[in-house]
Structure 1
């Protein structure tokens, strides 16, 4: 999650040099997934390596997902790619319960899974079970989770560059020495990376941070509305707010609109989904910029990464998924209303060249 690479396509206003918690707690086999994943798999041309050549491969996905369609799309992408690979995928979701996620991970270890994908969660809670899995010879791939265990493959969005892309737009919009607000929560790997960029940008721009609020719950957007509303009441001269997680951004947007400040206060978020696009393009929306990856494509790429690791073909300990900067102006000019249209306008979102091989039927969205 370093800031070393900035592989972003800057759009419209951008001048550029995807937590966390709820969902369905039931285990779901990949062969029983719902039909709402708009994905197709390109045919594989190469021979399957072991263990895929020897029968069904069992993989567990242990999630700490959040409210909103971002996590649903991520899961759908993972399930679609698993199904294309013939993987027997069992999904666990902890619903914001850290203790349950540790229990889920223990269950996955004892389930006979050959690989485990850990999607979000608190390192302190998960680390003991991750260590156990690795000691048992299970391949472990984590997404947006920090792990120091040797042999674990780390996957992530480029969160620092994602934040920088949005903050470049914010700097251009607000200028130096602006009064700003901040909506974020500490303790999540992705949000902590974005926080580091925020702090350095505040210093560089001479911004005056008037408030920091925020919490993550099973209703993050709704529960942040009163927090942001109260902060805006105390600090009416704020002209911009950074909320670097889309559920936080949605709550911030509602608070700004409820206070009838959309003509004065601009919201800068992160991540992108169908709901985010609709929110940004709505009349009088104060949400003017975001940056993100396609969650469906990321979920699929994490499964492909896991498949390559199982086959002994990955050859590296980390994989980073490049993000794309997106502005409200771009969405409106291109008349983009959903992720399908955004994918068409920005083919780079598909991550088609990330973690693939000739024996992998690559799922496109």
Structure 2
């Protein structure tokens, strides 16, 4: 499963040469946007990673690429299949159509193992620069902070004054002065406010370390450790991988989440992951000669997968709105869901997704 980034690219850069020694070829599968999709993302995000994928494939060699646009598929069209596979609700709707589609294509090609680098963000390619710089600021290591920010700004193409402001905000957030609402916006929630208050839903979440914006953990090292040791996250990922493997006869393997790799990565100090202005520094240095510099040293843009998910739902929009309307007439869901808010959203976006794309995603 090859994107244009560091994680899956690193896996490919080691797998393809190994297969060459066996006189075998590596097949790669890459999801690309619908050809009619107009990219709305920022200049630092890219929806179509094809140029970076090709760069990796040409540099590494021994690769047979497949670029899959999954025409006609959307998060809405695959709901019943996913519920049948998982036998439980799920929330990764924006990526659901292409994950399932890649498994299906791999099965058709007769693949037995499907490699990925899905969990590398917290292992091999971890290295959040702003969080590290905030720690330097809190520890008053100002000389090092200045040198790091100067180099990081050159790599990223960001002014030092802008970076200093971002680091300052990050440091305040880590001290508990996070910007934004501390309480949930009850009137604009899908969850029925009376239900949330009756059962103290957000109080219960708070007792488990969760806030309105997600986890309350602000220390990046502790957050990483919590994610890697989370039994809930491991169970969710393992269940999805296992059930997809059983359905399609293709076993997914993620080398970036191998226990030996996790233990090694956790043994390294923060300074190995952010150094000399370089974020994600460990993997950038380790893949020198394995990945093309256009990918390895790409600091300016990052891929954003499944960006066209709302666009893909346009043909299904009337059916989607009809299901919302049926839900709002259901007495079974009335105690739990905020029907008035759902009806208002349905009326607001009745014209379709394209006109209100940014508003929906925000």
TM-score (structure 1 length as normaliser): 0.24
Q: Greater share of helix residues, 1 or 2?
A: 2
Q: Which has the higher strand share?
A: 1
Q: Which TM-score applies when normalising by structure 2?
A: 0.24
